[in-house]
Chain A
Amino acid sequence: MNLASSPLATIDGLSVTLEHYLVVSGVVFAIGIAIALSKRNAIAVLMGVELMLNAVNLTFVAFTRFSQNADNASVLAGHVFVVFVLTVAAAEAAVALAMAVLVYRRRETVDLDRLNLLRW
């Protein structure tokens, strides 16, 4: 699936570079921050966190793709890191959603503004 080497037309001025991916990743990460900070529903906040993790993954993959690392062992280190991020994201989603359901059972709400039991 090496699309990059597919014999397509080359357009010099429009070539996609590392900057493009970094900007996209930054924008998605910022949207994730905005969602995580400003949503009331705990599940929506979790969605924002997932978006942020996705943006970070994109950065890793982009750096791996454009790096000039000649070292054999670590050329795909970014990919390996993304695999771990995926693992942790899956685990985090499972536990966090379980906690959301648990909180809902106790308090009949998942509104984070109203979960203020620990506020002094």
Chain B
Amino acid sequence: MESLGIIAGFWILSGVTVGASLAVFAVRNLLHAVVFLILAFVGMAGLFITLSADFLAVAQLLIYAGAISVLLVFAVMLTPMANRDNANSLYMLPGGAFALAFATIVAFVAIEVDWSQLRGDALNGRNFSTTVGDVGQALLGPHVLAFEIASVLLLAALVGAIVLVHEDERAPEDRGEAA
């Protein structure tokens, strides 16, 4: 982890990620916030690359920057009369204070704890040229049950989302509810 590329990559990408996340909080327009959120996702994918996780970096790009962001933009667009101003509620002060405290604690723990037992270089030492094969082996080997459950979960989410948003064609009185 001492090479110049990794160091430069880490500092630039973490700067991009943290800056974009802050912009998501600070920007006044909801759609601009979505744009900055995508930038944060892309920066996070870059951080994954600096950690030699090539499969996860591309998966992150595919799922977050490609799919979830489109979902978010769709959701913003399908709620046209709602407030678009990304405003804060009354809980901003306690929420912000809690977040600040959390960040401080995590940083304190991360710096103070002696990670010498974890100073290893797992991926580097084993000289992984790629993680794809090993992730696949692990997914279909020891974690196959969780893998199958995840597929069922995805199917349930798919069907659930369709059922939720599906517009009932019948008239309101036929649905048995007050319009």
Contacts and interface: CB of A to CB of B under 8 A. Distances in A.
The yes or no verdict on A and B being binding partners is yes
Interface of A: 1-12, 14-41, 43-44, 46-48, 50-51, 54, 57-58, 61-69, 73-77, 79-80, 82-84, 86-95, 97-102, 104, 108-113
B41 A54 contact: yes
A36 B157 CA distance: 22
A6 B68 contact: no
13 contacts: A15-B1, A18-B110, A19-B111, A28-B21, A28-B40, A41-B87, A47-B33, A64-B122, A76-B131, A82-B56, A88-B150, A101-B79, A101-B164
Most B CB contacts (10 A, CB to CB) among A61, A64, A111 go to A61
A102 B79 CA distance: 9
Contact of A109 (B33, B83, B121): B83
Interface in B115-152: 115, 117-124, 126-131, 134-135, 138-139, 141-143, 146, 150
Nearest to A92: B157
Contact of A14 (B7, B41, B82, B143): B7
Contacts of A57: 44, 48, 56, 60
Interface of B: 1-7, 9-10, 14, 17-18, 21-22, 24-25, 30, 33-34, 37, 40-41, 44, 47-56, 59-60, 63-64, 67-68, 71-72, 74-76, 78-79, 81-84, 86-92, 94-96, 98-100, 102-103, 105-107, 109-111, 115, 117-124, 126-131, 134-135, 138-139, 141-143, 146, 150, 153-154, 156-158, 160-161, 164-165
Contacts of B118: 18, 63, 66-68
A112 B75 CA distance: 15
A54 B123 CA distance: 21
Contact of B120 (A20, A47, A66): A66
A78 to B, nearest CB: 9
Most B CB contacts (10 A, CB to CB) among A19, A44, A86 go to A44
Given A22-B106, A57-B60, A91-B153, A68 B96 contact: no
A9 B153 CA distance: 46
A48 B43 CA distance: 16
Contacts of B52: 1-4, 65
A29 B100 CA distance: 10
Enumerate the 9 nearest inter-chain pairs by beta-carbon distance, A residue then B residue, closest first: A68-B120, A37-B95, A26-B106, A91-B157, A30-B103, A22-B110, A8-B3, A34-B99, A38-B92
B103 A110 contact: no
Contacts of B84: 41
A86 B107 CA distance: 25
Given A24-B17, A76-B135, A61 B72 contact: no
Contact of A16 (B10, B74, B95, B158): B10
